[in-house]
Amino acid sequence: YHQPGAILSYCNSGIILLGRLIECVTGLPWDQALQHYLAQPLGIDSIVTTLAAADQFNMARGHIRDPQTGALRLDPKPFLYPGHGPAGSTPTGRMRDLLTVAAHHFLSNQPPDASGYIPADLVAEMQRVQISAQVPFFLQGWGLGWTVWDWGGRTIIGHDGATASTRAFLRIDPSHGFAVALAVNTIAALPLYEDMIPAMAQDLLGISELIDTIPQPQPSRDLSIYCGSYEDPLVHIDIEQDGDALLMRHRPHATNSLPFRSGQAVKLHPYADDYFFVYGDGSRSYETDNGPSTKIRRPYSFVTLKNGERYLSTGASAFKRVS
């Protein structure tokens, strides 16, 4: 959808290719390399990549919505996309495993049985922003594998994960030796994240994950220039004008297995040319029964590349204008 390095847009394909590269370099299947080079040196014995192996640890199954009744039910195929395994669709473990990785791999950098596990200069490079986000506030950009956020002026690293029926979150404050992990066995997990993680950050670190102060909405240039259709391989977005704001509607492509509330209108409020905020009622474009959120305050931007291509950017994802 764009030339490499032109704009930040998260994509699993690169990590899947990296998994194949690891196989070529090590001579091991990627999941065996994961065990040999990551899990075993850290003393972790519960990271698994198959359903049969996961069952021995009494894995919590994810839940999906029944298309007939609308009720949540167990996901019958939790490892539906094994080819996406290196990008996270099959590795399964405990929260203590993630925190062990955080503690030894980044915070102390001293695993128990692996002196010099990762050189300090490489750890620093992994945490350095390699490509910046196209929106201000909150998200700085991407490091080597890590998402890099700005929480109240403090750099936080981590990553999220999602399948058709689960969500996982990891946040690390390297400067203060703090890490928190959260896993939820349903895709509608963001309300729980919004209730728990910002409160923990405020209470334990004295910083805010949420954007507390929103710039006052102000008249932008002609909003009609942003109207049209935008898409990536999974989601189609329609933008139309609604008075002094824009309405954004998501529509999943047929190949997208993740649940979206198709057609739900989300209002984008302008605060500067090409920059918009989403907040308040109707701000969620994902599936949840918890109603609208008054906490979500996320920026969006419209970006024009040097070749004239137009994108709608959420910071982490870019959707190309197609009409």
pTM: 0.86
Quick one: average pLDDT of 234-243? 92
pLDDT at position 109 is: 47
What is the tens place of the pLDDT at every residue in 36-67?
Answer: 988 888 888 888 888 888 888 888 889 988 87
Q: Confidence band (pLDDT; 50, 70, 90) for 213?
A: low
More confident residue, 153 or 284: 153
Residue 53 CB contacts under 8 Å (≥ 6 apart), including other chains: none
Quick one: average pLDDT of 221-247? 91
pLDDT at position 28 is: 97
Distance CA(159)–CA(319), nearest Å, equals 21
What is the tens place of the pLDDT at every residue in 255-264?
Answer: 665 555 555 6
Quick one: average pLDDT of 272-278? 88
C-alpha to C-alpha distances, 100 to 92, 93, 94, 174, 179, nearest whole angstrom: 14, 11, 10, 14, 10
Residue 12 and residue 87 in contact, taking contact as beta carbons nearer than 8 Å: yes
More confident residue, 194 or 143: 143
Q: Given a cut of 90, is residue 148 above it in pLDDT?
A: yes
Rounded to the nearest 5 percent, the helix, strand and coil shares of the chain are 25, 30, 45
Quick one: average pLDDT of 161-190? 87
Q: Given a cut of 50, is residue 112 above it in pLDDT?
A: no
